[in-house]
Amino acid sequence: MTRYDDTRLRHHTSMTGWLLDFGRPVLWPLALSALCRVIELAAGAALLGYAAHTAVTAVTTGTGNPATALTVVLLVAAVKGLFHYLEHYTGHWVAFRVLATMRVFFYQRLAALAPAVTYQHRTGDLLARVTRDIDRLEVFFAHSVVPAIAAVVMPAGVLTWFAATGYPAVALAALPFFVALGALVPFLGRRSAQRAEADTVRLAGTISAHLADTTAGLREITAYGAADRRITEQSELDETAAAHHRIVARWAAARAAATRLAQVAVLLTIAALGHRLGADTATLAAMLAVTVATFPALAAVDGFAALLGSTRTAVHRVRAIAEQAPATPEPDSATAWIPADTAPELRLDAVTFTHTRPGSAPVLRGVDLTIPAGSTVGVIGSTGSGKSTLGALLARIWDPTAGRVLWDGHDLRSIPLTELRRRVTVVDQDPFLLRASIAENLRLAAPDATDAQLWEALRVVDLDETVRAMPAGLDTSVGERGTELSGGQRQRLALARALLHDGQVVIVDEGTGQLDEPTEQRVLDRVRSVWEDRTVVWITHRTATLSLCDSVVRVEDGRVISAQPVS
């Protein structure tokens, strides 16, 4: 899939320019779609005009050839149907091709921003941006660009035909009505409606996040009797969204009424002026019929104009993520350094870290720490002391605000992220499991791992017999976020996944906190033998974990206050 130039994309200040940049590879099919729409509408106008002229001629003069008329009508109708199909096919092909490209682009940007972006935005809101917001952009390609072109070409063509057939005065008289229908009425109350639509789009992200949190935390919400409160919050969000929708609906009704008045007015004007200029009844009927045939082209303007507000907000929300500077940028190719595939020495050199949120206090302050190559170090401290942040800096989830994190003497920021991610294994205190099988969750770390390797990893964490007892074995689904497993089983599965990743640095944050003591000791003894030639950092408060460490570091109030070998 094409990787777009972020610099070029950021250059665009307008929604249209940014979207057309994504449509650049498919502009020719988009132009073909516009041509097909114009031909389809022109065929429709010709069909109505010819049918009206022929019918009125037959009634008023008694002349005409029914067979010829039927043949012409069928041929023109066939042309109209063919180009209607081609317009919709090419238009939606372009739209869905661009949407697919945009989703891949958005995911690529999320991957570049991860994992820090997941701390900065709620999961439900990110999901709304990658699904609902990007879906809204389909309107621009399938229902905006092409209809806008047709809305200009069709009235211009009809007015030109009026003038060419000897009625330029009729063309001039109809022109203001066409301008009103295509450029004024569709934008009546648009600012107020667009503000409401923008609020609706933003609120949709909030609603999505609220629902995601409610669904994920349903057990806790029910246990604490908070269900009614969550329902009330959801009702308030829904009522706010409904209020925004009512504003949009009121203006839509006003535009619909104005459109009908303008349509009636232009028909009456053409009929009266044409009659005054001596147009015969058949010609007048044809002129009125062709005018009616332009109404769908002009009505399409109101259709896509009504969605411009939500489309613009959706673009803004997508760009807000896509153009966000990564918390851990890639190094310059000229200064990039590739470490050896051996356990490194890790060192924090005068490291200070503060979150980017306004008013945040430093989490770590002037930390100096050396972790020898191939050693196992335990990190302890009270809640909120900065232990997990220290681990996050070692894994380069964040970059320090001041100071350096060094890998064998080289700044971590000089290592390409793909190389770093391959060499660093992280086990989080709340490990995420996909709604997939045990095997699929394990192979997230090692896609090519054999079943035998999976079973060996499960044996090390004392989970193999449990999985063998399951009816589907490795193919057993773990449920949404691993809810089919116990807390201890989820932690051991995460440890097994880390064993398969086989990085030179391993950072485990409270990785055995939900295990009973006998199971924890068995797992720790086995894991230590596997990771004996790795640089391992255990962030923990468990005594059993500290027993396998070579040294223990205590962190309090963002500072390392002691670092001692384990006796």
Q: What is the pTM of this model?
A: 0.68
Helix (H, G, I), strand (E, B) or coil at 483: coil
Q: Where are the domains of the chain?
A: 14-166+303-327, 168-278, 346-565
- Check residue 286 and give its pLDDT: 93
CATH fold match for the domains 14-166+303-327 and 346-565: no
Check: CB of residue 203 under 8 Å from CB of residue 212: no
Going 322 to 328 to 330 to 334, the CA torsion angle's sign is positive
- Check residue 2 and give its pLDDT: 44
At position 437, the amino acid (one-letter code) is S
- Check residue 511 and give its pLDDT: 84
Tokens 């010709």, located at residue? 46
- Check residue 407 and give its pLDDT: 95
Check: CB of residue 194 under 8 Å from CB of residue 306: no
CA–CA dist 311, 329 (Å, integer): 30
CA–CA dist 552, 532 (Å, integer): 17
- Check residue 318 and give its pLDDT: 86
Q: Which CATH architecture has domain 14-166+303-327?
A: Up-down Bundle (1.20)
Q: Which CATH architecture has domain 346-565?
A: 3-Layer(aba) Sandwich (3.40)
- Check residue 505 and give its pLDDT: 95
Exposed/middle/buried for 6, CB within 10 Å: 0-12, 13-18, 19+? middle
- Please give, one letter per residue, the 3-state secondary structure of 495-563: HHHHHHHCCCEEEEECCCCCCCHHHHHHHHHHHHHHCCCCEEEEECCCHHHHCCCCEEEEEECCEEEEE
Check: CB of residue 523 under 8 Å from CB of residue 496: no
Concatenated DSSP letters of 188-210: TTHHHHHHHHHHHHHHHHHHHHH
CA–CA dist 406, 223 (Å, integer): 46
- Which residues in the chain show pLDDT less than 50? 1-5, 7, 9, 11-12
**Strand arrangement of the beta sheet that strand 551-556 belongs to:** 424-427, 505-509, 535-539, 376-380, 551-556, 559-565
Rg (CA), the chain: 33
Give the dihedral of Cα atoms 251, 256, 261, 265; nearest 10 deg: 120
